[in-house]
C-alpha cells in the first residue's frame, strides 16, 4: 500500500524529495543587504527592500540551544495528533546563514548537547482523515543519522 504524503506547508522545504537527495529548507536572501531569512520572505526586515531571491539553505548545522515540549500545544494553532508525545525543539545554526527554530528528532534532552552537529530531515507530523501523511522538517543529531544509515 502506497502512502500519500504532502508537506505541512508549501514553500518551507524542497518537495517532493527525490531519492538520493537531501531535503533543503527554502529561504530568501535580500538582494540589497544580503540578509538571509527563513521562511522565505518577499520583504527584508533589515533594510525594507522588496527585492529578494529564493535560496536553498544548508542541510547541516549545529545545535545552538534547545528545550523540550512536554505538553500538547494549544489548538488552534496546533493541529497535530490528539495523542501527544513529548519532543525537543531547538535553534540550529546554519553556518553563514541564520538560526532556524525547528523540531528535533531526539526527544531525550540527555542525548542532546549545544554545539552538536545536526542534519535536516523530514518527519511525520500527522495523518489526515483521508490517510494522507503530512510531513514537516526537523533536525536530527548527525550521530543518529549515521547509525540509521548503517542499519540494514
Structure pTM? 0.86
Identify each DSSP E strand in 70-116 by its residue range.
Answer: 87-94, 98-104
20 CA to centre of own chain:
19
For residue 35, what pLDDT is reported?
97
Q: Which of 77, 75, 106, 74 is nearest to 90 (CA)?
A: 106
pLDDT tens-digit profile, the chain (152 residues): 557 999 999 999 999 888 778 899 999 999 999 999 999 999 999 999 999 999 999 999 999 999 999 888 887 777 777 788 889 999 999 999 999 999 999 999 999 999 999 999 999 998 888 999 999 999 999 975 554 444 44
| Strand-strand pairing, 133-141 and 5-7 | parallel
Distance from C-alpha of 54 to C-alpha of 82, rounded to nearest angstrom: 35
For residue 100, what pLDDT is reported?
98
For residue 30, what pLDDT is reported?
97
Amino acid at each position: 500500500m502506497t502512502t500519500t504524503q504532502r508537506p505541512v506547508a508549501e514553500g518551507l522545504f524542497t518537495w517532493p524529495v527525490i531519492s538520493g537527495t537531501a531535503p533543503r529548507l527554502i529561504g530568501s536572501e535580500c538582494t540589497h543587504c544580503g540578509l538571509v531569512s527563513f521562511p522565505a520572505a518577499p520583504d527584508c526586515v533589515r533594510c525594507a527592500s522588496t527585492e529578494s531571491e529564493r535560496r536553498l539553505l544548508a542541510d547541516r548545522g549545529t545545535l545552538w540551544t534547545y528545550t523540550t515540549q512536554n505538553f500538547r500545544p494549544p489548538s488552534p494553532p496546533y493541529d497535530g495528533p490528539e495523542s501527544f508525545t513529548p519532543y525537543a525543539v531547538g535553534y540550529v545554526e546554519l553556518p553563514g546563514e541564520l538560526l532556524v527554530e525547528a523540531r528535533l528528532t531526539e526527544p531525550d534532552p540527555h542525548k542532546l548537547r549545544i554545539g552538536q552537529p545536526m542534519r535536516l530531515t523530514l518527519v511525520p507530523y500527522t495523518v489526515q482523515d483521508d490517510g494522507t501523511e503530512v510531513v514537516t522538517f526537523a533536525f536530527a543529531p548527525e550521530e543518529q543519522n549515521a547509525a540509521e544509515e548503517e542499519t540494514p
